[in-house]
Amino acid sequence: MRIVKVGLASDHAGFKLKQFVISYCKAHGYPFKDYGTFSEESCDYSDFGHALAHGLECGEVYPGVAICGSGEGISMTLNKHQTIRAGLCWIPQIAHLIRQHNDANVLVMPGRFIDNGMAEKILDEFFATEFEGGRHKARIDKIPVGK
């Protein structure tokens, strides 16, 4: 995967895991931009999911990593944007498939359900896997509404 700058977003429930992702990015030499949240104070995942999506849409960042408690809310928010393909992962095999088959541009993790060790394995797989193209490209082309 070609990394421009990793875009990060979380809500309060994903904040601790996002801090781990920041340390992971630093350790691997990946530049990043943090769209928030910046504490464990209660907040709305949608605010930060939309900010990350806009960063991806304008080319400021690629790819993205997003985290909320279950991963579902921020994933739903991100996927409202036509060019975003956010995939929820809790094991490395899913991270592999969302890149290989779906050309996911955002990795979403459930902050309340995985630890740093599992997150590291998921991140490794997501960043290492290339999109396969072929028959999968035609399927991806059918995702946006109105095309």
Q: Which residues participate in catalysis according to the annotation?
A: 68, 101
CA 119 to each of CA 55, 57, 143: distance values in angstroms, whole numbers, following the listed order: 23, 25, 27
Asked if residue 28 lies in contact with residue 84, where contact means CB atoms within 8 angstroms, the answer is: no
CA dist., res. 23 & res. 105, Å (int): 20
- For residue 140, with 0-12 CB atoms within 10 Å meaning exposed, 13-18 middle and 19 or more buried, which class applies? middle
CA dist., res. 104 & res. 147, Å (int): 19
